[in-house]
Amino acid sequence: MATAQVYLVTGGCGFIGKKIVELLSQQDYIKEVRVFDSGAREEEKIIPATTHVTVMKGDIRDYNLLLAAMRGVHVVIHTAAIVDYRNTVPFWEMKAVNVGGTENVLRACCVLNIPYVVYTSSIAAVGPNTLCEPMRRGNEDTKYSGEVELPYGKTKAMAEKLVFEANGKKLQKSMASLVKMSMGIEHKYLYNHKTWSGNGAWMHVLAARHLQLKPDLLAGQVYYCYDDTPRRGFLVTHQLLSSVDPSIRLGSRIPYWKMWLIIHLHRIIKALLYPFWKPQPFLNLPLLNTIVTTFSYETDKAFRHFGYKPLFTWQESKQRTVQWLKAAAGNVSCPHLHQKEN
């Protein structure tokens, strides 16, 4: 394996992508990290960086531009996607980016003979399904079937299928490794970027490295991303917010039927007032069904296959995030507030 590696990260200016680029740029076996992102700016800088970082602005749907950016690359980490749980983006547009963009990445890899791809998916590609069947303490081998509930999840499942089908295609070496992120990476914008996102990004870095070292073991595999963040999201949020304001208390639960009624009333009002008023819903039925469906997993597969351990503990994460929230609440300048979301 060559010691002077060139990596390309699609969506490298986004929430998880930016942290991946930062960590890659600190690895001594990498000579260049390329960032391909539709929201990239010429002045974009990855800090700190000991490796050369090249930032390229481009749409993942533009195959020719993507192909040019991928020339001379050894490894591709594909994180670029439209993340939309509230159905604010038309399905055709989300599919064009999430599925069509993935198809372009894989096609370019075959043309350029790039043998290693790590793909960022989502637990939403697994479920919950439209029947709201639960999954309790599952892992990467747990069987779960049925049509995915969320439109976003549908596009990620379609892209996953492309990645699996591309594994080994037209190449001497195995081509693709699938890193499946837990549902929550897209919801954790509240949390400090150097905590949970750092752990998720670190798993990408390790998976990409060991995919080259142990392709027979890693190629075509699924890895759920994990750390020691408490599993109950509302309790995590309460711990964080109450650390900023001790007066915050847990409230009572809202019955499902009330939320169902609010969602449908909003749809009726929106239809009556369209096109004069176009309010964005804070919740929709697929997302509500996802929230109320038990969907949990436990895994150590990443540790067993390539020695993954979280870089940050929950206590470190909590402390950093509380500082970030206090700075935001006090309108104090904080470097973490200016990081770009994807």
Q: Are 46 and 53 in contact (CB under 8 A)?
A: yes
Residue 52 corresponds to which tokens in the numbers above? 């050369």
Q: What percent of the chain has pLDDT over 70?
A: 77
Domains of the chain: 5-231+296-338 (3.40.50.720)
Q: Tell me the one-letter amino acid at 263.
A: I
**Active-site entry in 152, 224, 297, 308:** 152
d(CA 250, CA 237): 10
Q: Radius of gyration of the chain from Cα atoms?
A: 20
Q: pLDDT digits over 14-56, tens only?
A: 888 989 999 999 998 999 999 999 887 755 566 556 788 899 9
pTM for the full predicted model: 0.83
Q: Is the pLDDT of residue 187 over 50?
A: no
Q: What is the model's pLDDT at position 159?
A: 94
pLDDT bracket for residue 339 (50, 70, 90): very low
Q: What is the model's pLDDT at position 23?
A: 93
Task: Let me know if 152 is a catalytic residue.
Answer: yes
Residue 288 corresponds to which tokens in the numbers above? 């509500």
d(CA 41, CA 23): 20
Q: Is the pLDDT of residue 200 over 50?
A: yes
Averaged pLDDT for residues 156-164: 92
Q: Which of 205, 184, 25 has its CA nearest to residue 118?
A: 205
Q: Are 148 and 157 in contact (CB under 8 A)?
A: yes
> Who has greater pLDDT, 205 or 272?
205
d(CA 285, CA 278): 18
d(CA 318, CA 340): 21
